[in-house]
Amino acid sequence: MIPGLKRSFEGHVLTLTFDRPQKKNALTGAMYEALTEALRHADMDDQVRAIVLHGNGGTFTAGNDINDFIATSGDFTDFPALHFIKQLAICDTPIVAAVDGAAIGIGTTLLLHCDLVYASPAALFVMPFIDLALVPEAAASLLVPMRFGLAKASELLLLADPINADEAHRIGLVNAVVPSVDVLKIATAQAHRLAAKPVHAMKTTRRLLRGDCKVIVERIYHEAELFRDALRSDEARDAFTQFLSRNKAG
Ligand code: COA
């Protein structure tokens, strides 16, 4: 049993649930490692034909645990988050996300690697890297302008403007906005539809749709080096301390 991650499996669909609601499902190193292993095994297991990602307690995920940013050793090749992102980018099994509540940082960037995304009206998407004195990750610097255009990418990654579910639907980050009570049910139903399709053709079609995986992984590593350098900066450290102390302040 991995703290912070739940797994369930039914009818060829693996459901991975971020389950740390008291910390808004912020992702720890242990959670990333468990997610990476789950994705790796899913690709090796013929019985797993689709994956659903979602978060418990009305938040998708508040992104990387800020405490881990502070504690990091600085060797980016050791970042559990990097292994997760890479595994997600090379994953052959189709992935459907059910987003209820906040999807922050990697909570939004991981969606760029999902095939279908369903969001509740309470969903909120933001990539606040710049405000933390950080840089984009998960190949967002490549995929966000490619998918939404440079003007929108500048709003999302330079201004770090949050977008709500309707805007995310309008720009094509999410497939549909559905009631909160239905979001997991609908995502799961779509995962079952994907799981019922011919497996080999599904994997091949996904690869064709996603483009050159090598280019995406190269960008992930390039961003990670820059991210590592940014993490060490005084302005980033100040931003982390400010976030963690804000509730205590008053
Ligand atoms: N890392 C570590 N702890 C986090 C966290 C994160 N990414 N996100 C939330 N938490 C913790 C808070 O510190 C708080 O802990 P506490 O109860 O011990 O004080 C708890 O989770 C609840 O969060 P809180 O901020 O009080 O809830 P909220 O409802 O007011 O706001 C969010 C929810 C998700 C909007 C807000 O927590 C947030 O913006 N988090 C994102 C942090 C971030 O910038 N992540 C991106 C990293 S690239």
Supply the pTM of this predicted model: 0.96
Q: Using a 6 Å CB cutoff, which residues line ligand 1?
A: 23-24, 26, 59, 62-67, 102, 104-105, 128-129, 132, 243-244, 247
Three-class SS of the chain: CCCCEEEEEECCEEEEEECCHHHCCCECHHHHHHHHHHHHHHHHCCCCCEEEEEECCCCCECCECHHHHHHCCCCHHHCHHHHHHHHHHHCCCCEEEEECCEEECHHHHHHHHCCEEEECCCCEEECCHHHHCCCCCCCHHHHHHHHHCHHHHHHHHCCCCCEEHHHHHHHCCCCEECCHHHHHHHHHHHHHHHHCCCHHHHHHHHHHHHCCHHHHHHHHHHHHHHHHHHHCCHHHHHHHHHHHHHHHHC
Distance from Cα 23 to the centre of ligand 1, integer Å: 6
135 located within any domain: yes
Residue among 24, 25, 238, 248 whose CB has most ligand 1 atoms within 8 A, to mutate: 24
Domain span at 147: 5-181+193-200
| CA distances, 240 to each of 66, 86, 230, 237 (Å) | 6, 25, 12, 5
Instruction: Assign 246 a pLDDT band (cuts: 50, 70, 90).
Output: confident
Once rounded to an integer, what is the mean pLDDT over residues 184-193?
98
98 located within any domain: yes
* pLDDT tens-place string over residues 119-162: 999 999 999 999 999 999 999 999 999 999 999 999 999 999 99
Query: Are 6 and 56 spatial neighbours (Cβ–Cβ below 8 Å)?
Result: yes
How many structural domains is the chain composed of?
A: 1
Q: Does residue 76 carry a pLDDT above 80?
A: no
Of 33, 149, 40, nearest in space to 92 by CA? 40
Query: What amino acid is encoded at 66 in this protein?
Result: I
71 located within any domain: yes
Using CA atoms, how far apart are residues 142 and 156, in angstroms rounded to an integer? 13
* pLDDT tens-place string over residues 26-56: 999 999 999 999 999 999 999 999 999 999 9
Instruction: Assign 81 a pLDDT band (cuts: 50, 70, 90).
Output: very high
Centroid of chain to Cα 38: 15
218 located within any domain: no
176 located within any domain: yes
Once rounded to an integer, what is the mean pLDDT over residues 175-195?
98
Using CA atoms, how far apart are residues 241 and 245, in angstroms rounded to an integer? 6
Distance from Cα 220 to the centre of ligand 1, integer Å: 25
162 located within any domain: yes
pLDDT at 250: 44
245 located within any domain: no
What is the atom index within ligand 1 of the atom nearest the CA of 67? 2
pLDDT at 32: 97
Instruction: Assign 78 a pLDDT band (cuts: 50, 70, 90).
Output: confident
Instruction: Assign 75 a pLDDT band (cuts: 50, 70, 90).
Output: confident
Q: Which domain CATH number covers 91?
A: 3.90.226.10
Instruction: Assign 1 a pLDDT band (cuts: 50, 70, 90).
Output: low
pLDDT at 248: 65
* pLDDT tens-place string over residues 90-104: 999 999 999 999 999
Instruction: Assign 249 a pLDDT band (cuts: 50, 70, 90).
Output: low
Tell me the β-bridge partners of 194. none
Check residues 74 and 34 and name the one with the higher pLDDT.
34
Burial level of 56, CB count in 10 A (0-12/13-18/19+)?
Answer: middle
What is the atom index within ligand 1 of the atom nearest the CA of 131? 44
Q: Whose C-alpha lies nearest to ligand 1, atom 14? A: 23
242 located within any domain: no
